[in-house]
Amino acid sequence: MEAFVHDVVRFYDDLIGRTQGPMSFRFFLQPGMALLMALRDGVKDAKTGRPPYFWNIVNDPAARRDSLREGVKATARILLLGLVMEIIYQYKVLGTFHVLEAINVIVALCFLPYLLLRGPINRLVRWWHARAHRTA
């Protein structure tokens, strides 16, 4: 039990330490790139009439797997870049590599912003187009 508590404490200490020092720019770079991918795909979803991304994942079990696969495919380069940056960071700062920490950081910085922003972008674009067509 003590080993587990030690690992949890180390995990959170390491996470907090990542926001300062070397390579802290990735806390802006990776979510920014995820935002660009969400913007691209959210606009495409709005133009094709697809439902908001996260809403579709939550409410359509039949499409859940395909939607998640599509999201991972769209963010694959960002996820890979995040993995490389995390490996470099951990070896440079921590002197070792912790797989679960890397996965958590990559998901939080790369995929989560994409997941949370793609649907609202879709809705904003639909609203914008509907507003433009009402005034035209």
Assess whether pLDDT exceeds 70 at residue 111.
yes
Q: How confident is the model at residue 136 (pLDDT cuts 50, 70, 90)?
A: low
| Encoded amino acid at 4, one letter | F
State what percent of residues in the chain have pLDDT above 70: 94
User: Rounded to two decimals, what is the model's pTM?
Assistant: 0.79
Exposure on the CB side of residue 22, measured as CA atoms within 13 A: 10
* pLDDT tens figures, 56-77: 888 888 888 998 898 888 889 8
Alpha carbons 69 and 25: distance in angstroms, whole number: 28
Query: In which residue are the tokens 């939607």 written?
Result: 67
116 CB-side CA count, 13 A:
9
